[in-house]
Structure 1
Amino acid sequence: MPPKAYSESQGTGSQDPVPDLNIGKGPERPYVVTEPPSSLVESRTPKSAKEKLTIAVLLLVTAFVRLYGLSYPNSVVFDEVHFGGFASKYIKGVFFMDVHPPLAKMLFAAIGSIAGFTGDFDFESIGQMFPATTPYFFMRLFPAVLGTLTVLLMYMTLRCSGVRVPIAFIASLCFAVENSYVTISRYILLDAPLLFFIASAVYSFKKYEIYPQGSWNSQKALLSTGLALGMALSAKWVGLFTIAWVGILCVWRLWFMIGDLSKPIRKTVREAVRKFSFLLVIPLVIYVFFFYVHFKCLTIHSDGAGFFSSAFRTTLQGNTIPQNILADVGIGSTVSIRHIATMGGYLHSHDHMYEKGSQQQQVTLYPHLDGNNDWLIELHDKPNTPVTSFEGLKDGTIIKLKHVISQRRLHSHDHKAPVSESADWQKEVSCYGFDGFEGDGNDNWAIEIDKDATAPGEAQERVKALETKFRLKHTIMNCHLFSHEVKLPKWGFEQQEVTCASQGKPHLTLWYIEGNSHPLLNETSERVSYKEPTFLEKLVESHQKMWHINKNLNEPHIYESKPHSWPFLLRGINYWGHDHKQVYLLGNAIVWWSVTAFIAIFGLLVGYELLAWQLGKPILQDAKVVNFHVQTIHYLLGYVLHYIPSFLMGRQLFLHHYLAAYYFGILALAHAMEITVTYVFRKRETVGYAIAGAFLSAVVYFFVSYRALIYGTPWTNELCQKSKWLSGWDYPCHNFLSSYEDYKKLETEQAHQPVSPSNTLAAGADSQPTVAQQAPNAQQAIPEDFDVDEIIAAPGNKKFVDQNGNELPFDVVKEVLDNGGSVMSVEHRSHTEIL
């Protein structure tokens, strides 16, 4: 007999969304019929007035939770420093560098522009007050609306995967008041758009699964999945993991389709081609398109372009990259020499000495055009000799390089490198000499043209500007001029170290000539310019830089955390603090720990079932149990794919990097609630619903108890102290006042005082290669007369300094942070994107 499609659910009076498994009898073997029953759409799609009312109630509750007090704080919060600033740059067309794809940032810019934002506010620091001309409320309204819609998507997803209305409603309500998701959806951050796109992809794919294969509705759902995947990938690279999740589920489904003897193989092949086109090609096209728009929008050169090659920068308005450069390089040429493999820039020296080693003049890489990048090429045995005829540079020519401004020559000797002193294969490179000095053998460098890196032609035979790639080999030390992404200390202005290396990666020893002049060549001499890169070349280069910078965001940060701690909610992130109020990212511990516990329990359950099956006992005999296992495995696969890659990342990580995986965990937890009601307590469903209701009550209680950390509203010191279930929940309770009456008094006092600007400048925790770095711990409070206008993170030194360069103990920095202050990187302090 054919299995029943659905039955009346006991105690609910609604259709059962989980049909019995349809097993066909083939001539050789039984097989699973992969075509969903026609009744599945009806039982898993909201159509009744009662369910639509349920959805409306869910929408109203969620909207209230997410939109409440959205205009407060009326100052910059956490990484609004970055993403609000990027929106400003989009509006002004100023080029910038970010490690994330452009879509979400462009959407913020579009919303701001529609609301009247002209980009006149740069979001420079946490705590900086918004001027009246910045429509920050509308820019925050966008992620808040997306956060609200994400809750509805969770409800619809659960319904599509077989969860009944009451449990889908309860689970979605738990998600609606999950503290961390409420917090990240209230500010100009990438997380809310990303999660909305991921949730859209999950819902669309689950919707696709309930329609007959090849039907118009299934194709629309599959197309929607592809569009959502493209948007997720274009918001953050986390979308790649969602694409992988959908891809694995497609392979899973196709595997059963191949075994379905009732389905022609042609239909299975067509479905495979359709999935490839909709789920891979379309997301890729969307992703590339938004980068095309990104490049079209950002046309004005800025310091942020310093990450990119000179050829890339020539496409930006206002660039100062040399053009019409003399092609021929010879003895007597004054040149600027650019490193190829790193973003350090030009071979550079300045009239400052190393503080260790030879204590001779420093040689570094510097990313900006500067007179200190100019070098005079001399023949090694004829220094200080005026040129009377042009002599080109060939492979093997031995030269000296005289620094034009200081008149000292590029030099190496048997001294350890200034920073990489533990590496015996790297030696110090300096500038040495004095007026009239002809130099010595330690100034001699042999040119080695790399013919593999140089395009075929004349540039392989003699050095030509831009075209010839070469190495400089020290004739005595038998090492090559080398640079890598190691910074000198503060005394070296944190510029990139240059050494002479006898080992190391060969591409780190490659150089080329950019600027070039010669006293004997004139306007009629051959000239070369950078070839303008194509869109594809710009796309490839931008991704190389994004990947490189992202993996090197590895400096310590005050609020970073490790992936192994995330499932246990060991600590959160301080977002903002002012006027004895705090915004702190913390998950709802009831939901959070329940997800973690369920994952462990489900793993034990599957292990037990496998053992029972091996012993010949029957398992998975009930359709609801089968659906529970299938859907839970689907969602936990999504959890694993979005969580495990974090362990492979060497960069700094924060609690919010767990939220995409956590979303899948909540979906799986909802199915645990469903099977509890429909199977564990199938004869007493009232008990099951009572347990689910009690769980919801606990979740709401936690949300209400900790709402002050979400909305930045008044809280008392006593309540704060009692709320710290774990020591890692490091929000500063001493900042809160003793009673709510004290807040009213404070508000009254402030109403009669002039408004003072924020006293600290900041950079957020993520996205840019500008990170706060910790100093050694010191037990020290801020002295009463201690005036810190700026706290600055000094890269490379792992310390903080104030605006005058005085080093600050870690406890001083943390206390300023806890009181609403924040840290600004050297890069942001100088209003540049890189050093």
Structure 2
Amino acid sequence: MSAPNSTLRQRSGKEKNKAVVNGDKVEDVIANIYQDVQKKTSREWDYKAALAIITVLAFATRFFGISHPDEVVFDEVHFGKFASYYLQRTYFFDVHPPFGKLLFALVGWLVGYDGHFLFDNIGESYIANNVPYVAFRALPALLGALTVVVVFLIMWESGYSLPACVLASGLVLFDNSHVGQTRLILLDATLVFFMSLSIFCYVRFYKQRHEPFGRKWWKWLLLTGFCMSCVISTKYVGTFTFVTIGCAVCIDLWDLLDINRKGGALDLFTFGKHFVARAVGLIVIPFFFYLFWFQVHFAILNRSGPGDDFMSPEFQETLSDNLLHQASLDVHYYDVITLRHKDTKVYLHSHPDKYPLRYDDGRISSQGQQVTGYPFNDTNNHWQILPNDPILDGARADEPVLNGDLVKLRHVVTDTILLTHDVASPSYPTNQEFTTVPLELAAGERHNDTLFEIRMEQGKKGVPFKSMSGQFKLIHYPTKVAMWTHTSPLPEWAYKQAEINGNKNVQQSSNIWYVEDIPSLPEDSPRRIKEVRKPKHLPFLVKYIELQRAMFYHNNALTASHPYATQPFQWPFLLRGVSFWTQESTRQQIYFLGNPIGYWIASSLLAVFAGIIAADQLGLRRGVDALDKRTRSRLYNSTGFFFLCWAAHYFPFYLMGRQLFLHHYLPAHLASCLVTGALVEFIFNVDPVLDQETASTIASKKDKVTGKLSDKTKRTFQTASDRLKGHSMITTWAATFVVLAAVIGGFIFFFPLTYGWPGLTPAEVNARKWLGYDLHFAK
């Protein structure tokens, strides 16, 4: 991306015109004139007036009727809840980084909210529960309105004409998806605002490239890094903003490395300074800000809460009031225990019924006693933990079980011993079947097959094995498989209980179990008498790394189908939306949907840009140079940068296996609006400052220099000057008004679905099902 410049290319045969004025090349003289005029026109009142109008409209569209509906809407159940947890200092778990949620918590704290409401269900009343929901919604509305302003400023700072600025910002201003997402307690307004602010700051930084390492240069470099850190600290898709800026920086550094670069080559030491400065400003400092928000997150959430189960016992010990550790008991040999799976919450269970001789696919089982997972607690879930030596009554009684010990598990009701062997499980032919065998076989020929190792998560070998806090994997000693279960039920012959099998992938996190209770231990046992424990301390980086692993794991696990999930190829064409909220009595609904007209125009011009680049490259290969140097530079560097921003925020979604929704496309859509505004200027051949005043200014300065030029250069300069004088922006403004009129019409037409008001009749609903949108109340 580059600031506008102006040159005149003169050729005589194969030689360029070497005309000079007072020792300067003609091209440089004209460029200086152009820059002087640009500085003057960049302060013109019309840009400021247009920005003021757009700002007012942005706030009006985002804040209008923001109190409706006065009920919990869609994902407000999550992010409103998280704000309440922050205010209660109760630990929770979420797949997104903390920055955006901390902003909501700050709003709640500022208005004196105590976090008593937990946003449990869509449709719950805010009024009845005395929740300051308008204050919460005002934050994304504010950021959404400022995003429109930033889009205008990006275009302005990039040197585009007023119509281009108005069109790009207008497409965001009157887009229903941007409006709808910024009127609710959701994170996307924060994400999109800081994404756009990152682009703006980088544009300002790049404009300081001729004065490197100056105060302004450093200011805009560091602000770019800070804004990018806010993006990725809101959602991990903020990585795409780093990709955008990173690619632009790499191209810039590659240009600085060129020994033939314009303005002179840099020595390697100076180039190294440029490289290090960018690395520090755009990578190191953003990373430290990113860590800072997690530090705040951990500092606030110091009480036990619903997020405990996602973390290790060591992490949970850092939280006060942790029930898991208050109920934690040392497990001794010969204790009767109940084992529960961490993820599915089923108990390790057995009953006298046998596996069938043959399964549905024809495989033969061992016909041994069934071992299953059962969601309810009963006596068939009781197992006695025994030492690994042959069963001797009382041997090692009252000795604590230690991490790494080899043990046996006796099913109390049927008096059999747990075993797994090289027989395929019912549902997973690659996994081993779990069953039980009589005591005499367990003490004799099947002894080794009944041995299991207690392998506690993040526990040192030899530490006491505990109930509740002692999360562990049960590893079969001879075959090294881990006891595992899953959510798909077994057939009727197992009463549709969960399958227990031996998982060969021992490292899989879903292999984890814990001892929930020790039923054989009397209530008055000294082992149940516990002192009040003080929270332990873990280093920040240990907690941060553990949380990061859990966040990435659960984020990647969001692969289940969803009725409103969409594929990336559907977004540019707006093939479907998402139902946010409905009210049967008034036939009102909020349906998250973009402005189809705006989406289709922006998507079409993305294809147009790709076609223009392809045509230009083909023409250059064939010796056809249809563009002047400055126009090509702006097309490739500035518009190309916006296109890169769109591509970086769009194409990576094709590589993701997780659930995707329309709101994931908002950053890419904003970038497509920038491309649209830039292409309007290119298509209509509008110079950003070539109005009548500019033409007159250049014409007056032209008279002072043309006397020292050759006749041929004078004629070229005169032709260019005449073109500037005669150029009118009427056509450009007309195109801009036509496009915006259509976009505003679409915005108004879908207004009731965006604002949830007023209710629509079936005929009105069906009229808005342009591409078969699954709207409610269509009958």
Distance 1:512 1:726, change over 3 A: closer
Distance 1:155 1:468, change over 3 A: closer
Residue in 2 that maps onto 1:685: 729
Structure 1: how far apart are the matches of 2:450 and 2:61?
68
Distance 1:718 1:314, change over 3 A: same
Distance 1:296 1:399, change over 3 A: closer
Kindly report which structure 2 residues correspond to 1:307-346, keeping only aligned pairs within 5 A, or say none.
307-322=310-325, 332=334, 343=343
Structure 2: how far apart are the matches of 1:412 and 1:378?
16
Distance 1:207 1:406, change over 3 A: farther
Residue in 2 that maps onto 1:143: 140
Name the larger-Rg structure: 2
Structure 1: how far apart are the matches of 2:368 and 2:37?
78
Residue in 2 that maps onto 1:615: 622
Q: CA deviation at 1:54?
A: 2.0
What amino acid is aligned across from residue 279 of structure 2 in structure 1?
Answer: F
Q: CA deviation at 1:514?
A: 7.5
Q: Does residue 600 of the first structure (1) align with residue 607 of the second (2)?
A: yes
Distance 1:481 1:446, change over 3 A: same
Structure 2: how far apart are the matches of 1:41 and 1:324?
76
Match of 1:694 among 738, 751, 758: 738
Structure 1: how far apart are the matches of 2:99 and 2:496?
33
Segment of structure 1 superposing worse, 442-451 or 234-243:
442-451
Distance 1:463 1:45, change over 3 A: farther
- Kept in 1, the 8 Å contact 2:420–2:476? The answer is no
Q: CA deviation at 1:690?
A: 0.9
Distance 1:131 1:44, change over 3 A: farther
Q: Does residue 410 of the first structure (1) align with residue 418 of the second (2)?
A: yes
Q: Does residue 632 of the first structure (1) align with residue 635 of the second (2)?
A: no
What amino acid is aligned across from residue 410 of structure 1 in structure 2?
Answer: L
Structure 2: how far apart are the matches of 1:191 and 1:209?
27
Q: Does residue 705 of the first structure (1) align with residue 749 of the second (2)?
A: yes
Kindly report which structure 2 residues correspond to 1:406-445, keeping only aligned pairs within 5 A, or say none.
409-412=417-420, 417-418=425-426, 421=427, 423-430=428-435, 444-445=449-450
Segment of structure 1 superposing worse, 115-124 or 139-148:
115-124
Kindly report which structure 2 residues correspond to 1:213-232, keeping only aligned pairs within 5 A, or say none.
213-232=212-231
Residue in 2 that maps onto 1:802: none
Structure 2: how far apart are the matches of 1:215 and 1:149?
28
Tell me the alpha carbon deviations over residues 161-203 of structure 1, each in whole angstroms, 9 at most, x when there is no partner. 2211232023212211111101001000011011011111011
Residue in 1 that maps onto 2:678: 671
Segment of structure 1 superposing worse, 123-132 or 104-113:
123-132
Q: Does residue 79 of the first structure (1) align with residue 78 of the second (2)?
A: no
Q: Does residue 102 of the first structure (1) align with residue 107 of the second (2)?
A: no
Match of 2:579 among 571, 574, 582: 574
Distance 1:570 1:635, change over 3 A: same
- Give the match's secondary structure for 1:296: helix
Residue in 2 that maps onto 1:499: 501
Structure 1: how far apart are the matches of 2:381 and 2:190?
44
- Give the match's secondary structure for 1:128: coil
Structure 2: how far apart are the matches of 1:49 and 1:417?
77
Structure 2: how far apart are the matches of 1:468 and 1:721?
54
- Kept in 2, the 8 Å contact 1:330–1:391? The answer is yes
Provide TM-score, normalisation by structure 1: 0.73
Structure 1: how far apart are the matches of 2:563 and 2:438?
45
Distance 1:454 1:542, change over 3 A: closer
Residue in 2 that maps onto 1:726: 771
Residue in 2 that maps onto 1:534: 539
Q: CA deviation at 1:46?
A: 5.1
- Give the match's secondary structure for 2:778: helix
Match of 2:304 among 301, 304, 317: 301
Structure 1: how far apart are the matches of 2:491 and 2:186?
33
- Kept in 2, the 8 Å contact 1:336–1:346? The answer is no
Match of 2:762 among 691, 712, 717: 717
- Give the match's secondary structure for 1:238: helix
Tell me the alpha carbon deviations over residues 752-798 of structure 1, each in whole angstroms, 9 at most, x when there is no partner. xxxxxxxxxxxxxxxxxxxxxxxxxxxxxxxxxxxxxxxxxxxxxxx
- Kept in 2, the 8 Å contact 1:95–1:302? The answer is yes
- Aligned length, in residue pairs: 694
Segment of structure 1 superposing worse, 97-106 or 674-683:
674-683
- Give the match's secondary structure for 1:303: coil
Residue in 2 that maps onto 1:285: 288
Q: CA deviation at 1:486?
A: 4.8
Unaligned runs of 5+ in 1: 1-5, 7-16, 736-835
Q: CA deviation at 1:305?
A: 1.3
Q: Which protein is richer in helix relative to its size? A: 2
What amino acid is aligned across from residue 742 of structure 2 in structure 1?
Answer: A
Tell me the alpha carbon deviations over residues 250-274 of structure 1, each in whole angstroms, 9 at most, x when there is no partner. 1111111222352533433222211
Structure 2: how far apart are the matches of 1:452 and 1:123?
33
Residue in 2 that maps onto 1:111: 107
Kindly report which structure 2 residues correspond to 1:17-28, keeping only aligned pairs within 5 A, or say none.
18-20=4-6
Structure 2: how far apart are the matches of 1:134 and 1:271?
51
Match of 2:65 among 59, 62, 69: 69
What amino acid is aligned across from residue 349 of structure 2 in structure 1?
Answer: S
Distance 1:611 1:509, change over 3 A: closer
Residue in 2 that maps onto 1:763: none
Provide TM-score, normalisation by structure 2: 0.78
Distance 1:285 1:487, change over 3 A: farther
Structure 2: how far apart are the matches of 1:369 and 1:282?
52
Q: CA deviation at 1:20?
A: 2.0
Structure 1: how far apart are the matches of 2:419 and 2:647?
53
Residue in 1 that maps onto 2:207: 210
Match of 1:650 among 653, 657, 671: 657
Q: CA deviation at 1:66?
A: 1.1
Match of 1:198 among 191, 195, 200: 195
Q: CA deviation at 1:710?
A: 0.8
Distance 1:662 1:387, change over 3 A: same
Q: CA deviation at 1:688?
A: 2.4
Segment of structure 1 superposing worse, 604-613 or 406-415:
406-415
Q: Does residue 481 of the first structure (1) align with residue 472 of the second (2)?
A: no
Distance 1:388 1:95, change over 3 A: closer
Distance 1:51 1:494, change over 3 A: farther
What's the Cα RMSD here?
Answer: 4.4
Distance 1:21 1:108, change over 3 A: farther
Unaligned runs of 5+ in 2: 10-15, 19-24, 360-366, 688-722
- Give the match's secondary structure for 2:432: strand
Residue in 2 that maps onto 1:156: 153
Match of 1:376 among 359, 377, 384: 384
Match of 1:130 among 107, 111, 126: 126
Structure 2: how far apart are the matches of 1:452 and 1:90?
28
- Give the match's secondary structure for 1:279: helix
Structure 1: how far apart are the matches of 2:612 and 2:186?
38
- Kept in 1, the 8 Å contact 2:373–2:485? The answer is no
Structure 2: how far apart are the matches of 1:130 and 1:490?
45
Tell me the alpha carbon deviations over residues 194-250 of structure 1, each in whole angstroms, 9 at most, x when there is no partner. 101111101100111112322211211111111111111111111111012111111
Structure 2: how far apart are the matches of 1:292 and 1:394?
34
- Give the match's secondary structure for 1:558: coil
Residue in 1 that maps onto 2:170: 173
Q: CA deviation at 1:404?
A: 6.0
Kindly report which structure 2 residues correspond to 1:752-831, keeping only aligned pairs within 5 A, or say none.
none
Structure 2: how far apart are the matches of 1:454 and 1:22?
73
Tell me the alpha carbon deviations over residues 538-584 of structure 1, each in whole angstroms, 9 at most, x when there is no partner. 11111111111111111111111111111111101111111201111
Distance 1:152 1:723, change over 3 A: same
Tell me the alpha carbon deviations over residues 365-384 of structure 1, each in whole angstroms, 9 at most, x when there is no partner. 99x99999874332467447
Distance 1:68 1:335, change over 3 A: same
Residue in 2 that maps onto 1:822: none
Residue in 2 that maps onto 1:401: 409
